[in-house]
Structure formats: C-alpha cells, structure tokens
Amino acid sequence: MDRLVPLALPLQQIQITELPRPAKGGGRPAAAPDLRPLLAPALAGHDVGLLSEAGLPAVADPGAALVQAAHALGLVVQPLAGPSSLLLALAASGLNGQSFAFVGYLPVEAAARAARIRELDALSRRLGQTQIAIETPYRNDALLTALVQHLQPSTQLAVACGLTLPGERCETRSGAAWRTAGAAPLGSRLPTVFSWLAG
C-alpha cells in the first residue's frame, strides 16, 4: 500500500518557475538563456526539481541545459524515475532494445524528409539499430504516410500512439504490411512515437 507523505511546505509556498524559451535568432544561432539564476536556491541548500507536464525532463523534452548548468555549478543531480514515451514505445515495439538511436524530429519538407527516412533506414540496416523519431501531433499522419512510403518493405515499423492514455495503441508491422493494410489515421492530438528496424 502506498504511504502518503505530506509536503514539506504548503503548495502555495513552493516556488514554481517555467523554463525560459530560447530566443529566436532571426537566422543566426540564438544565445542560450542564462539558467544559473534558476539554480540559486539549490546553491543556497534548498531542493530544486525539474518537472515536465508530459514525459521525462531532458529526454525528448526541455531541461538538458538546466541539468548541464547544475553540473557546471557542482550541484548533485539525482534523476527520479518517470515515464519516458521513447522507452515505453521501444519496449512495446518488439524491436532491438540493445541498440537504438533517438533521432528527434524529421524534416518537415517532403523531399528532405524522404531523404532522411531512407538514410536512417540504411543506417538501421547497417548497424542493426532501432531508429526512434517523434513528431508534432498535427503532423503525425504525414510522417506515418512518409515512413510507409519510403521505408524498405522488410523494415519493421512500430507506431506507438497515446501511451499511458486510455485507448493507447502500439502496432508493429513490416513496411510491406503497412502498405497492404493501410494505416488508420492517428489524428492530430495524441503524441506518437515512431520506431523502425531494417530487416
């Protein structure tokens, strides 16, 4: 049975600060914001936590720069277990969990996206490595269509949609099977993880 542990402070007394968004550089790389002031309480001996509204902070989610700043200041960094859609999707896919790469977002422009898919498919074949990508939910269907179109027929493609939510689903099929059966629309609201392993 879970044990209830009261908060050390009332919720109203806990300081919550949103991570600053990186400034737009107008074509030039933008200067990263100075995150050290956010760590001042930790330097003063207080606990500081990094939370995410969805997912695991700093893994396919903002926060790595704050963790890096904490290391630079000599602070102890302690990870706490939380959900990671990437690892949940990999575990549910049946693909190679011993060697995998998270490749982030693929290009939006169709020709560049197709070239990147073919490049990653070839890399997967050469290394025996699962490739994992994500997309903004409103572009899920476009990415799925591109993957089905450009992956080799023998490549296994796993689509994990809405993990940890009611109605979650994960399907793994060969590229040929995806083409034959077609893919039900994923919709524009649910986070989805796409994983593939060349056969």
Residue type, 94: G
Do 107 and 55 sit in the same domain of this protein? no
pTM: 0.79
Count of the separate structural domains present in the chain: 2
Bridge partner residues of 194 (DSSP): 133, 159
Greater confidence (52 vs 118) lies with 118
Q: Check residue 194 and give its pLDDT.
A: 97
1 lies in some domain? no
Q: Are residues 133 and 96 in the same domain?
A: yes
Q: Tell me if 24 is assigned to some domain.
A: no
Residues 183, 116 within the same domain: yes
The string of DSSP codes covering 102-121 is EEEEPPSSHHHHHHHHHHHH
What pLDDT is attached to residue 55? 73
Asked if residue 97 has pLDDT above 70, the reply is yes
**CB of 130 closer than 8 Å to CB of 97:** yes
Contact 101, 129 (CB under 8 A): yes
* pLDDT given at position 24: 65
Q: Kindly state whether residue 57 falls inside one of the protein's structural domains.
A: yes
Contacts of 184-190 with C-beta under 8 Å, sequence gap 24+, read 185/141, 186/137, 186/140, 186/141, 186/144, 186/159, 186/161, 187/137, 187/140, 187/141, 188/137, 188/138, 188/140, 188/141, 189/137, 190/137, 190/140, 190/161, 190/162, 190/165
Read off the CATH number of the domain in which 144 is found: 3.30.950.10
Provide the residue range defining the domain that includes 52.
33-82
pLDDT band at residue 185 using 50, 70 and 90 as cut-offs: confident
pLDDT in tens, 4-55: 888 888 888 888 888 887 666 566 666 778 888 899 999 999 889 998 876 7
The reported pLDDT for the residue numbered 25 is: 58
Q: Are residues 149 and 189 in the same domain?
A: yes
CA-atom Rg of the chain in angstroms? 20
Whether 76 and 112 share a structural domain: no
pLDDT band at 1 (very low <50, low <70, confident <90, very high): low
Look over the chain and give the mean of its residue pLDDT values, rounded to a whole number: 89
Nearest one of 174, 97, 88, 86 to 129, comparing CA atoms: 97
Same domain, 164 and 98: yes
pLDDT above 90 (res 119): yes
- DSSP assignments along 3-49, one per residue: PP---SS-GGGS---PPPPPPP-TTSPPPPP--GGGGHHHHTT----
Average pLDDT of 91-111? 95
Q: Does residue 59 carry a pLDDT above 90? A: no
- Residue with more model confidence, 157 or 82: 157
Average the pLDDT over 78-100 and give the result: 90
- 28 is a domain residue: no
**Helices and strands in the chain: count of H runs, count of E runs:** 6, 5
- Do 145 and 188 sit in the same domain of this protein? yes
Q: Is residue 95 over pLDDT 70?
A: yes
Answer whether residue 63 shows pLDDT above 70. yes
Q: What is the mean pLDDT of residues 137-148?
A: 94
